[in-house]
Structure 1
Amino acid sequence: MIQGNAATGPLAAILVALAATPALAETPAAQDSTPQDVIVSAPVAHDEMDVLQGTSVLSGDRLNRELRPTIGETLARLPGVSATSFGPSASRPILRGFQGDRIRVLTDGIGSVDVSNTSVDHAVVIDPLLAERVEVLRGPAALLYGSSAVGGVVNVIDSRIPRKVPENGYRLNAIGSYASAASERSVGAAGDVAVTRNLVLHADGSYLKADDLRIGGYVLSPAARRAALAAAAEAPDDPIDFAASARLKGRLPNSAAETWTAGVGAALITDGGSLGASYSHYDSLYGVPIRYATEPGQEQEAPRLSVLQNRFDLRGEVETGGGFLDRIRLRAAYASYRHFELEEDGEVGTAFYNKGLEGRVEFLQADHGGWNGASGAQYFSRQFNVVGEEAFLPRNDTQQVGLFTLQQYESGAFKAEGGVRYEHTSLAARNPLDDPRFFNGTRGFDTFSGSLGASYGIANGVRLGLNASRTERAPSAEELFANGAHAGTQAYELGNPNFRTEKSWGLEATLHAHGDGFSLDASAYYNWFDDYIYENQTGQDVCEAAAAPSGREVEFPCFQYTQAKARYYGFEIDASKRLATIGGQRINADILADYVRATVVDVSPVPRIPPLRILGGLEAQGDRTSARVELEHVFRQNRIAGYETATAPYTMVNASFSFKPFAGNDRTSITVAANNLFDVDARRAASVLKDFAPLAGRDIRATLRVGI
């Protein structure tokens, strides 16, 4: 056990996601009273009908029900979303099959400033306990947050910098929960107090402690168990007890965690704008599930990660008084991050250090005859260093400057928009120790991305949309400069400093149909990639040659970053229908389906792609109570790369009940959720660790949320 821690198109949604209005972001109660199809609210109110790409919002009661320790697991039941599931403490979102450096995870519009994009064993430094609203923006809509967001954006909105003066002079939200699968205990609270008419102070904090996760079957998958038993028969005198590994069941060893956070903020809020700042601290200690040896000669470790981040945020907005510009917005953050990868004896094996600065300014135009828009600039800087025996990267710096503009037009049932982004990226590898493995120098990239789309209301409540995009992404430092063993993924990773920019074309069609008692949101997309960057397992001699100048041995399988053509296509459908109203209870049925198919042309399927999934639910909703039962079936994944194993299908049954005990107080609720009721053995195809770390077994979660 661990001891210690609607405008109308894609680009519009991105520009406005930085700042939801107080009505949307103030409290869970406010979110519940907001229509579910509102995506973002500034500079112009956006209805889901008007958005030209798949978009989801998680807030209020639904956020209470889906809340998990990681942002990946919290969002995993939304359309088009899966999770990396590298154990219960390191699970990053996967959007339409994209992960890593092709999606961005943001806090109120600014990056999380961690190293979660560099490896799946690195946790996202965002605490869902303090989230008030989460927006998931998929496809080309996300490009205004950077070219690395080609897969999409997850934007977590909290209240750390106040947006509104509390009506009664103060505001408090608190949450406490217990989950049986890991004996998970968590509490969180956030409060605002107005010390003058215009000055609001904020404080928040959270704490979580969890034991090793209970699972629904064996730790090892059937294929890994067979391999371990064969190894036991082949090498009975090996010091590793392969047979014992094959027999492990019931608990996921080395998966306990302890995390705490604290933050303070202040904002000066007037009728003409606001200016606020905050400081936050994040501290976590969590275990990474053991990747067991399944053949003679392999090693197995039980590493733990000690994570620490200190972060400063700034947000400002000023109204210009009309004319051409309506308002100007500023958002910035700086963070210092480090994590230690601890060996079984507690010694630091490898240390990761990251300092990041990100800021953006936006100029929002006033509406003139159906025409409005926004333009702005974004800056990003990262200083990243890995120190230790398993350092697989040289010290490196990344600098990005982006310029973007969006222009949109509306006339009756017709809505259109176009936007472009230019970005210059400079990546420098510093090799002060002259390690012969590493590149020493600078690469620079200029990228241009844009989209053009339109939608048309073909009937009352029914709208069709089509969007086309052209995107370019600069390679990341990991893709360019990696040359070393990475214990977290059990791979020797080899980059290529001569990579070109990754380019893609994309088409997406959407259908939104909303009416009295029903809703349907569907999207279908196709992406063509040139110079697509991916990891490919190659012969050991490739990595041995790369490591030879340093005299290091290659103990892990060799994975080399490569460029090729690739194709992604898929769909998402999310529909609901009111079946009846009985005694004030609205009986609703809903269904969700998503699918993505990804191929490296003339090579193989793209590895770790989620398979087809269907999720259906039946829910009774009242003014103060709601009850839900749902069934999720995830199909078998046989489209795999040569070094992967197939993933078995699974079906989970979940149920929940929510009660608001006080009439007229929507901000206080009790939620009880039973997940994986039948204790099935479930493994995500997108997880690197799927053969060694299944999902949680039966889990009963009780959550109390209080608002005053």
Structure 2
Amino acid sequence: MKYIFFALFMGFAAMSYGQNTLSGKVSDAQNQPLIGVSVYLPELHKGTVTDIEGQYEFNNIPTGKLQIVFSFIGFETQNLNVSVSQSPVNITMTESEHKLDEVVVSTGFNKLQSQNVMKVEHAGVKQMQQQGITSLAEGITTIPGVSQVSTGTSIGKPVIRGLSSNRILVYSQGVRLENQQFGDEHGLGLSDSGVESVEVIKGPASLLYGSDALGGVLYVNPEKFADANTVKADFGQRFYSNTLGSSTSLGVKGSTDNWKFSLRGGYNTHSDYETGDGDRVTNTRYNETDIKAGIGYNNQKMSSVFRYNYNRLDLGIPEEGIAEQSTSKNTEFPRQGIDNHIASLHNSFFFGKSSLDANIGYIFNDRSEFEDSNDAVLRMKLQTLNYDLKYHFPQFGKFEIIAGIQGMHQTNDNFGEEYLIPNAEVNDFGVFGTTNYTWNSNVIQAGIRYDNRHITSEANGIIGEEGSFAAIDRQFDSFNASLGYKTDLSPKWILRLNLASGFRAPNLAELTSNGVHEGTNRYEIGNANLNNEQNVQADLNLEFKGTHFEIFVNGFYNHIDNYIYTQPTGEVLEDNDVFAYTQDNAQLFGGEAGIHFHPHPLDWLHVESSFESVTGKKQNGDYLPLIPANNWNNTIRTEFNIKNWLKNGFARFNVSTTFDQDNVSGFETRSGGYTLFNAGFGGKVTFGKTAFEVSLNGNNLTDKTYIAHLSRLKVDGVPNIGRNVVLGVNFNI
């Protein structure tokens, strides 16, 4: 079947034009050719590998400056700015024991992480899956400084250094994800199927993304297209012992010199999860269907990529805790049904020494909640259209400059009996400029931005009664700026210092709520007079990368004016305590630190340890809610090959210790500490002409009974998931 796809795309290729060629040779320090080096052009979404002579070649590419990235396991990644006129571009790669240095796309300048002013965490989804994750939301918690507010295994909301919900902006396929993230029971809603990696900016990124990036950004990168003139197909399957669940993924992708395509389908299904006590938590079961597709085209003047993602979630909502025991995967009432569509079109136009990125995205989120029948009592349809224009000026000496505008038009419409938020319209407009100046081993990055958000909503119901809303018409404005400095103190030491401001306009729930919020079991009243949350954060990053030893230390201080939260009024309505939204200044501080030791001559052995901590307080000294507990994570990992039948083998043993969380807000309860033991191994197995990747992981091996501080089931005393053994296989077809 894959050859049919390839023949079709070769036909499309006949429509292309242009003969610009970029080629070269990749060698090691002994001038020996390196075979199988990955060579990638990020702006064109185009890649290839070196042949037996170390040669590579790209055809039909623009004449202007392009980034080209060379990466190969065991060698330092190289990122160069080149043009066709420089061809052939021959390079010599230097051996290194460090992990591959990845290109960071979330900060605009497409630099390698080692060249970037901002410290951006990069985690590959394949490596997450090798740790036995059950969802993408769980996978990102393997990154120091990132946690999740969870409802069982099905719903997870990312938390970056103590901030979550609308304070964290999620990007998928290059467009901002809008899925009613204001709700505690509204999860990430993204499948790990067809995802290449995740980048995390841990700090205000409003300069690049506008409102809602006050606490940071999760940037989800889709899988790359196939290398030029190849077609690939693969099938993956994972099985989970605890939930009796499975995860299936099937994909095909191909490329010519000009055209490229990808298609992937995934399906996840899980029963109620089992605690360490052997009890199943009723109605935590869920089913997920995910389809991703993409098509791209490039020539000498432009590159265009269209992607589409459909995600269907059928979620059980646990209300009874540990009640009826069942291994069924059919959700019971109450439950949620969520259909999410993401369509994005990314275009790059090349004008010799400059270029223009013109991107547009559309998201349709259809969320229904069912109480005791298949008639939705609550149904919200959120439609979001956003645009993003960035102009990359010709490089002026050592200056790189980007200027752009971004905007969003969003409508929310209700179709059920109950209203959580009113019918409303939101319009955003932002304009910004940022520059990157490099000299020797020093880099300065600075920028400024202005944003305007206009929110209007319709009146509903009889004012004073539950579910009624008064009409609002509010505008929110904000100027923000950032300044960062990166320097190599020595060939092995890197220092980064960043100072940035950010903002968040209040969301519809905070402005208009008037009713019982089932997720928190309280009556919430909004405040139409809320102001912007505005923050300033300072970040310090220090890294040491020796031949066999690495260390990093991150520290931050985040001051937030007008932090929005709820507090009790002393009243009771509808048999629930009444909480009203209000504002106060707040501060968060803490950081992460870690080491990585791989001793010579035992280069196959890796010892890793990291510690993370965050403290959040209001101006009056009270602690903020939903602040994750301190965590200490330790891993011993080995890499090996066994003759000719097992390659890229790995084995790991992990000990994760979460400490007591005694620093709680007045409406939370403290949480006790716990230690979890995890292990896994796997690799690429070859039998004759058959090859496949396999991994076996065991998480919470001792079947520990524990309750995470950020679990929404904590108030009912319901423990988290017990022992879970995950078997994964992946075949190239």
1:289 paired with 2:318, answer yes
Rounded to whole Å, the distance in 2 between the matches of 1:570 and 1:208 is: 36
Q: Is the 8 A contact 1:625 1:658 kept in 2?
A: yes
Does structure 1 residue 110 correspond to structure 2 residue 175?
yes
How many residue pairs end up in the alignment? 631
> Does 2:247 correspond to 1:186?
yes
1:608 alignment partner, SS class: coil
In structure 1, distance between residues paired with 2:184 and 2:673: 23
SS at match of 1:261: strand
Matching of residues 144-223 of structure 1 within 5 Å? 144-159=208-223, 166-194=227-255, 197-217=257-277
- Report 1:489-638 matches (<5 A): 489-540=520-571, 544=573, 554-582=574-602, 586-602=604-620, 604-622=622-640, 624-638=648-662
Asked whether the equivalents of residues 291 and 689 of structure 1 are also in contact (C-alpha less than 8 Å), the reply is: no
Q: From the superposition, tell whether residues 435 and 581 of structure 1 become closer, same or farther in structure 2 (CA, over 3 Å).
A: farther
- Which fold has the larger relative contact order, with Cα–Cα distance below 8 Å and residues 6 or more apart in sequence? 1
CA deviation after TM superposition for structure 1 residue 649, in Å: 0.6
Which whole-Å CA distance do the structure 1 matches of 2:383 and 2:313 have between them? 18
Q: Does the Cα contact within 8 Å between 1:39 and 1:55 map onto a contact in 2?
A: no
**Which one-letter code corresponds to 2:630 in the other structure?**
L
Per the alignment, do residues 496 and 514 of structure 1 end up closer, same or farther by CA in structure 2, a change over 3 Å counting?
same
Aligned with 1:257 (options 286, 306, 313): 286
Q: What's the offset of the Cα at 1:43?
A: 6.6
CA–CA distance in structure 1, aligned partners of residues 264 and 509 of structure 2: 35
Distance 2:187 2:688 in 1: 39
* 1:423 maps to 2:423: no
Matching of residue 704 in structure 1 with residue 729 in structure 2:
yes
1:392–1:509 distance in 2 versus 1, CA, 3 Å: same
Question: 1:36 Cα deviation (Å)?
Answer: 3.3
2:123 aligned with 1:58, yes or no? yes
| Alignment partners' CA distance in 2, 1:113 and 1:60 | 22
- The structure 2 residue matched to 1:395, chosen from 423, 442, 447, is 423
Deviates more, 1:60-69 or 1:475-484: 60-69
In the TM superposition, what whole-angstrom CA distance separates every residue of 1:473-523 from its partner, at most 9, and x where no partner exists? 221122111121121332222211111111222111110211212222221
Q: Residues of 1 paired with 2:307 and 2:367: CA distance?
A: 22
- Distance 1:103-1:557 versus aligned 2 partners, 3 A rule: same
Q: Is the 8 A contact 1:166 1:192 kept in 2?
A: no
Name the structure with the higher helix share: 1
TM-score when scaled to structure 1?
0.83
Counterpart-to-counterpart distance in 2, 1:603 and 1:282: 42
What is the match of residue 404 of structure 2?
Answer: 376
Does the residue aligned with 1:510 lie in a helix, a strand or coil? strand
**Equivalent residue for 2:675?**
651
Preserved contact between residue 147 and residue 449 of structure 1 (Cα < 8 Å): no
1:337 has 2:365 as partner = yes
Q: Name the residue aligned to 1:225.
A: none
Identical aligned residues as a percent? 23
Q: Does 1:278 align with 2:339?
A: no
Quickly say closer, same or farther: Cα 1:77–1:264, change in 2 above 3 A: closer
- Deviation per residue, 1:273-307 (Å, 9 max, x gap): 3112233322121112225599xxxxxx9521111
- The amino acid that maps onto 2:252 is G
- Once the 2 structures are TM-superposed, how far is the Cα of residue 603 of structure 1 from its aligned partner? 5.5
1:318 aligns with 2:349: yes
Q: What letter corresponds to residue 145 of structure 1 in structure 2?
A: Y
Residue in 1 that maps onto 2:480: 449
Give 2:81's aligned residue.
none
Would you say the 8 A contact 2:46–2:228 is kept in 1? no
8 Å CA contact retained: 2:594, 2:608: yes
Q: 1:92 to 1:569 in 2, by over 3 A?
A: same
2:439 corresponds to 1:411: yes
Deviation at 1:148, TM superposition (A): 0.9
8 Å CA contact retained: 2:428, 2:451: yes
| Contact 1:530/1:564 (8 A) holds in 2 | yes
Letter aligned with residue 126 of structure 1: L
**Cross-structure match for 2:326:** none
Cα distance in structure 2, aligned partners of 1:106 and 1:667: 34
| Matching residue of 2:380 | 352
Cα offset, 1:67, TM superposition: 5.7
Alpha-carbon displacement from aligned partner over 1:411-444 (angstroms, at most 9, x marks no partner): 1132111111211001111125565531202100
Question: CA-atom RMSD, angstroms?
Answer: 2.9
CA contact (8 A) 1:24 1:31 kept: no
User: How high is the TM-score relative to the length of structure 2?
Assistant: 0.81
Q: Secondary structure of the equivalent of 2:576? A: coil
Inter-partner Cα distance in structure 1 for 2:265 and 2:348: 26
Structure 1 residues 116-166: Cα deviation after superposition (integer angstroms, max 9, x where no partner): x1212123231112211111111134641222111111111114xxx6564
- What secondary structure sits across from 2:170 in the alignment? strand
How far 1:352 sits from its partner (Å)? 2.1
Q: Secondary structure at the match of 2:190?
A: coil
Q: Are the counterparts in 2 of residues 393 and 484 from structure 1 also a CA contact under 8 Å?
A: no
> What are the superposed Cα offsets for residues 54-83 of structure 1, whole Å, 9 maximum, x if unpaired?
421111641322463433211112100101
Deviation (angstroms), 1:105: 1.5
Deviation at 1:588, TM superposition (A): 0.9
Amino acid at match of 1:157: N
CA contact (8 A) 2:279 2:322 kept: no
Name the SS for the 2:377 alignment partner: strand
State the alpha-carbon separation in 1 of the partners of residues 320 and 388 from structure 2. 41
- Structure 1: 5+ residue stretches without partners: 1-16, 218-248, 295-300, 545-553
Q: Distance in 2 between matches of 1:36 and 1:99?
A: 30
Aligned to 1:305: 336
